Structure 1
Amino acid sequence: MAAADTTPATREAPWPVGLMSEKIAAWIDRLGQVWIEGEVTQWQVRGGHVYGKLRDLDQDATVSFTVWRSVAQRLTGEFSQGDRVVALVKPNFWVKGGTLTVQVFDISHVGIGELLERLERLRRQLQSEGLFDASRKRPLPFLPSLIGLVTGRDSDAEKDVIRNATLRWPGVKFKVHYAAVQGDRAAGEVTAGIEALDQDPEVDVIIVARGGGDFQNLLPFSDEKVVRAAANATTPIVSAIGHEADRPLLDEVADLRASTPTDAAKRVVPDVGEELAGLDQARARLSGRLGQLLAHEADRITQLRGRPVLATPERIIDDRAEELVRWIARGTELAERGVEDRERGIREMRSRLTALSPRATLERGYAIAQLPDGAVLRTPGDAPAGTELRLSLAEGSLAARSEGGA
């Protein structure tokens, strides 16, 4: 066996399974004791011994552990599924079964202060990314036709939401996605539920509901995967975890935070009775306002009809007729005066023109002597003896002959 331990395994000289298992066990044994952290997913006590499983907080990795009776008797705290713990363990490889287990020598809860510090770091990171900004909050639909619900199967939260929503609006419909709401499966299943309902185009709003719980049981609703799924959803998200003292991060990123599942139902679905009463009140206010408006307008019409201008409208015609007659008379007078003034001016201008015209000169006994070509004779030299002349008089003309200048 010793020679075989140092001989390399080949196709022609393979190792026995037992030899390989022994080598694995020896190598793991050299690791010694180590401190590890994880979430308890199984805790069973049998014969004073504890058998369980521990899951990684971030990765999909799980390891079985054993707490022997001598160690379990010294433990001061109580442990259950979903607890986050740190443990001093020594890995052991069971050669016969080919399985890896860890033996626990000490185990304790992760301090609340440490958990709060981690949550605060994650809170600051998400806040710096703007996932908590009020500007990202989307309004809820007034009356959703289909409500998506992520909750535990047969839980009080499911019953509270459906019962109160149905009481407020009997026709409301739900599409329920069941998920674990605590423990190692909770974060993944809640995330899957949000994503599945968000992809359904008929779902108008998504409620994530749980009926309260202690701080550690609510940790899945502060898981980064859950928070980012809610932030990336296009459908409005309502967080109804039901815990006032410690607000999970889902409350911060949700479009609406409800204090309880019952409160979520009341805020998502309107009360049919209240809406009908509101309609009646609005109808009454509208009717009263319309009546007041009609009465006011009727009073105005009565006042207008009582005015003299509407009581005896013929007076307007009479007054305007008298005024029109006066203007016509005035216009006629002005037109006649204008005509007379123009006639007088024409007569004066005619008199001046007549006095200045050649005819007036001829009427005073003068004559105009013209040569045969029509030129006016101005000097005796222009008409030598024998020149034919034409004399223009006031009344006609005469032919004459020049006898020369004297």
Structure 2
Amino acid sequence: MNSYFTDTVIPDTALSLAGLTDYIQDLLEQDDRLRQVWVYGEVSSTNKHPSGLFFTLQDSDGKATIRCVVWNSQMTKLAQQPTKGEQLLVLGSIRVYRQRGEYQLTVWQAFPAGEGLQALRYKQLRSRLEAEGLFDPQTKRSLPIHPQTIAVVTSPSAAAWGDIRKTLRQRYPGLHVLFSPAQVQGEQAPASIVAAIERVERDGRAEVLILARGGGAVEDLSCFNDEGVVRAIALCPIPVMTGIGHQRDESLADLAADFCAHTPTAAAEQVVPELDYLIAQHRERIATLKEVVDRQLDTAQAKILILRNKLRRLRLDRQIQQESRSLSWLRQRLVQVTNLKFQSASQHCQLLRQKLTTLDPKAVLQRGYAVVRQEDGTISRSAASLKLGQELSIQLSDGQVKVKVTEILDDRISQPKARKTRSYKKKDI
């Protein structure tokens, strides 16, 4: 390949880059109309520099922009200072910036021309979405403390994707990262961002979503002020972190997100904790726990020592011996009292047994006595209650007999008459 270029003959009409730039510079800067030109447009961004103020003018439809600069020597002469969102009428001349091959407008004077259409549309959209509650801080969700799966929505060719992966890998190894590619600049960017967020929602694995884009001109970030993108962020079922790479302004996407960072790297740092920090925290908790346990152990040992000294002063062993002797004496006393009461109860039972034996009707019958009962079973205790011919039952010691009264004798007669009785058959009990 080197030999090919060496052998190739360069035409005489070919220009170097510097030559081409010088030619364009001569065309633009020597044009009488461009040496003093009036331009009107909306200020879309400003950047203060030690040498002056750099800002960008944009058409109301956002399809054309031009970079402008006001040097410090001319700043105080302006009738209107360039402010983002303001419509300006400026007077200046076209100059070519050779190092980057760009042209810019060097401004001599600026006059107010009303509020810019883009700024007015932005304010109206922000007020309407804010009234719907899409920016309400009460609806913001908290980030998971230790997420296992994170989704990233950004351009696959952007440096932001590489920065996020590197940061996540360094801070939290082993994290599962889902990538949902999207355009983050241009007319197709809003629809592409919404579709990428919806893919993450349908997948269902991510615990948090990072919407990121690297730094750039404010005009390039207009897709993050799109209503569709804002609603997709606000309605996303998982927490959303934005890292849209600009520190000067806040997009509507930042307001709708649960958390926002100024750069993609900062967004990745906020989403996951640093593993080294977690390890240091864990070690610190272990040290704190050990310190608390050691302190409690020392306190318990001190209490044990105090109680041991108290026990020594109380001579608990002597008290135990005294109590043991007292219990032994009480045991003996209890046995003696119990034996005495048992003997007394045994004697009483024996006496009662003898009395029962004496009063036993069978014992009386065995001594020759009998029990006379009438027919209804009542005991006859008097001869006067008997009648002639009445049948009686006589209970003996070994059975009973039935008799009939044939004569009633009067015990008051000294010579009783002979009593006649008629015997029946003997009936055993």
Are 1:83 and 2:76 counterparts? Answer: no
Aligned residue number for residue 402 of structure 1:
416
Gaps of 5+ in 1: 1-46, 49-68, 86-107, 354-367, 392-399
Residue type of the alignment partner of 2:40 = T
CA RMSD of aligned residues (A): 5.2
> Is the Cα contact below 8 Å between 1:208 and 1:241 reproduced in 2?
yes
Task: Give, in angstroms, the shift of residue 269 of structure 1.
Answer: 2.2
Task: Give, in angstroms, the shift of residue 284 of structure 1.
Answer: 1.5
CA distance in 1: counterparts of 2:155 and 2:119, whole angstroms: 25
**1:174/1:346 CA distance change after superposition, 3 Å:** closer
CA distance in 1: counterparts of 2:385 and 2:161, whole angstroms: 146
Residue type of the alignment partner of 2:211 = V
Residue type of the alignment partner of 1:118 = L
Query: Would you say how many aligned residue pairs link Structure 1 and Structure 2?
Result: 293
Deviates more, 1:264-273 or 1:131-140: 131-140
CA distance in 1: counterparts of 2:318 and 2:308, whole angstroms: 15
> Is the Cα contact below 8 Å between 1:191 and 1:225 reproduced in 2?
yes
**1:375/1:245 CA distance change after superposition, 3 Å:** same
- From 117, 122, 145, give the equivalent of 2:129: 122
TM-score by length of 1: 0.54
**1:259/1:323 CA distance change after superposition, 3 Å:** farther
Q: Give runs of aligned pairs for residues 278-317 of structure 1, distance below 5 A.
A: 278-306=281-309, 308=311, 315=318
**1:330/1:312 CA distance change after superposition, 3 Å:** same
CA distance in 2: counterparts of 1:299 and 1:150, whole angstroms: 62
Task: Give, in angstroms, the shift of residue 207 of structure 1.
Answer: 0.9
Gaps of 5+ in 2: 1-26, 42-56, 65-114, 357-368, 389-404, 419-429
Aligned residue number for residue 185 of structure 1:
188
> Is the Cα contact below 8 Å between 1:227 and 1:249 reproduced in 2?
yes
> Is the Cα contact below 8 Å between 1:177 and 1:193 reproduced in 2?
yes
Identity in percent = 24
> Is the Cα contact below 8 Å between 1:231 and 1:253 reproduced in 2?
yes
Residue type of the alignment partner of 1:272 = L
Task: Give, in angstroms, the shift of residue 401 of structure 1.
Answer: 5.8
CA distance in 1: counterparts of 2:342 and 2:177, whole angstroms: 100
> Is the Cα contact below 8 Å between 1:82 and 1:216 reproduced in 2?
no
Q: Give runs of aligned pairs for residues 178-217 of structure 1, distance below 5 A.
A: 178-212=181-215, 216-217=219-220
Deviates more, 1:376-385 or 1:229-238: 376-385
Residue type of the alignment partner of 1:134 = Q
Task: Give, in angstroms, the shift of residue 226 of structure 1.
Answer: 1.2
CA distance in 1: counterparts of 2:191 and 2:254, whole angstroms: 18
TM-score by length of 2: 0.51
- From 219, 223, 227, give the equivalent of 2:226: 223
Post-superposition Cα deviations, 1:297-329, rounded to whole Å, max 9, x if no partner, equal: 444445555554899876565334323234335
> Is the Cα contact below 8 Å between 2:129 and 2:135 reproduced in 1?
no
CA distance in 1: counterparts of 2:166 and 2:254, whole angstroms: 23
Post-superposition Cα deviations, 1:256-290, rounded to whole Å, max 9, x if no partner, equal: 22233222121112212212211221222222233
CA distance in 2: counterparts of 1:334 and 1:385, whole angstroms: 65
